[in-house]
Structure 1
Amino acid sequence: MPGVLTDDPATTRSPARVLARSGAVAVVLTVVLVGGLDLVRLSDSAHHLRRTISEYALGPYRWVFDTGVVLLVLGSLAILAVLVGRGVSRWNSVGAIAFAAWSVGLTLVVVFPKNDWAVGPSMSGSIHRFGSMLAFVSLPIAAMLLARPWVRDAAWGAHARWAFRFGALSALAFTPLLYAILVDAVTGTSWWRVFPLGYVERVLVLTEVVAVFVVGVWACAVSSRPRPVPPGQPGYSPSSTSR
């Protein structure tokens, strides 16, 4: 039927399509692996969830934790590569750089385990904390900035709006940590004692991982359509990406 765009076999098997789907699947596997560790902890006691997720890297389940985070890094980079390769963003845009910074931060989290307080502070723990903060801050910025130019687009507007919403939700989920850091600066109360840090972190991480998955679904959709014309570029119209 004229005017109706359908996937042909070549498009379905295209490298971009495979890469986008692989990225989205990697994100889901991360949730399964790390979520599975939490379920094991819950079967014992919910009190264990007061500890941070990266606590798993200090015990016998480190390989599960590391595998999950590495999958999230690789999935995020695959999703970003598709969005850039298909013209949704540019490599040098702030949104793409922030998405890459999210992956860098997660890589630091894996390479440098958190402090084992039974031993004491360490350089590894300091780098781990920096990597966590880099990832937590970068993802909301990335999701919102990648989405913003496309929120009114006829073809990608729905995907962009969902990505923007989850980016904003991730930023909101980060505010308790900011409050705790402010309390630490003003009163001297250790910021990790202001809230049950493990619970707050899990809400934040889940929100951000879902945001990455939403962007991954967008990348899957983009990979099966003609290369879009970015807003503001010659040839763009609100319906141009749906042709």
Structure 2
Amino acid sequence: MGNSRGLRIWRLAALAAIAWGMFTITVLHIISSRNPVYDTLSSYIITDRGQGMLGASVLSLAIGSLAVLGTLVAAGVPLPRTTKVLLTLWSLGLATAALFPASYPPNPNPLSGDIHLYSCLVAFTSLPGAAITLLDPLRDSPYRVIVVRWLRLGVVVLGLFGLSFLFVRLDEAGLAPFHLLADALPIGVTQRLMLIADVLLLLGLIRIAVRTDAAKALAPAAQTAPAAAQLKAERS
């Protein structure tokens, strides 16, 4: 019973933080005049309206991600140490990226920009890694399909984002042909698709935790029922 109560607390904390983060970033997209097709999320640190909302939303998502890890642990989902480390790195990467914004004029900060870039790299690669490490522990579980479905989507959109990021960097370096490729595969779109895929995985992990806890709660009842039936038959 204690575990179920702890699970509920972790789950509510995770859902609330993730929902708030997504709500905040959605509002930022609505009120800001930046272009969501070609502008990265990091560029919203410089905006005409909604200043500070980007950092708040990313921090909220980081907190929600740690709460997802707490939900999995409270439910007794078999988590290798590597999975826990990678989920923690995902959360810390997001938090660090929020605290150290990207470097843009009119107030460039190269150090903060480098920390932001590498923090995002750690975060974006850690979450798929965490999903991969869950495949073996869940190999006999019906919930494994949730992770497999995300991996198919998540790896594809991560690859698309990586390509679009590369095209933009090469275009900025003055290589003209890559301007067409950057326009054909806009970085704003691929990054937002990646964010949606990541949130879907976090929600999927919460679902796995809830189902695992429910299955454990039903197991004692299933084991007790045959014994009770046998005892009743003997008495009769």
Same fold (TM over 0.5): yes
In 1: Cα distance, 2:77 partner to 2:46 partner? 39
SS for the counterpart of 1:98 is helix
Instruction: Choose which of 195, 210, 214 in structure 1 pairs with 2:200.
Output: 210
Q: Which residues of structure 2 form unaligned runs of 5+?
A: 224-236
TM-superposed deviation, 1:209: 1.4
1:18 is aligned to 2:15: no
Of Structure 1 and Structure 2, the greater helix share is in 2
State the identity %.
21
**Higher deviation after alignment, 123-132 or 22-31:** 22-31
1:149-208 Cα deviation digits (max 9, x unpaired): 22432xxx1x331133113311110112333566668xx667898342212211111111
Instruction: Choose which of 78, 82, 86 in structure 1 pairs with 2:71.
Output: 82
In 2: Cα distance, 1:227 partner to 1:61 partner? 45
1:200-231 Cα deviation digits (max 9, x unpaired): 21111111111111112222333445389xxx
Q: Which amino acid aligns with 2:11?
A: A
Aligned to 2:226: none
Q: Which amino acid aligns with 1:61?
A: G
Aligned to 2:186: 196
Aligned to 1:71: 60
In 2: Cα distance, 1:170 partner to 1:189 partner? 31
Q: Which amino acid aligns with 1:83?
A: L
TM-superposed deviation, 1:114: 0.4
Q: Which amino acid aligns with 2:186?
A: P
Instruction: Choose which of 163, 184, 207 in structure 2 pairs with 1:179.
Output: 163
1:169 is aligned to 2:153: yes
Q: Which residues of structure 1 form unaligned runs of 5+?
A: 1-9, 229-238
Q: Which amino acid aligns with 2:112?
A: S
Question: In the superposition, relative to structure 1, how do residues 179 and 50 fare at CA in structure 2: closer, same or farther (>3 Å)?
Answer: closer
Higher CA-based Rg: 2
Q: Which amino acid aligns with 2:13?
A: S
TM-superposed deviation, 1:124: 0.2
Instruction: Choose which of 27, 30, 38 in structure 2 pairs with 1:36.
Output: 27
TM-score normalized by the length of structure 1: 0.73
TM-superposed deviation, 1:107: 0.8
1:53 is aligned to 2:41: yes
How many residues end up aligned between the 2 structures?
214
For the aligned residue pairs, the C-alpha RMSD in angstroms reads: 3.3
- Structure with the greater relative contact order (CA < 8 A, sep ≥ 6): 1 or 2? 1
Q: Which amino acid aligns with 1:162?
A: I
In 1: Cα distance, 2:9 partner to 2:146 partner? 22
Aligned to 1:6: none
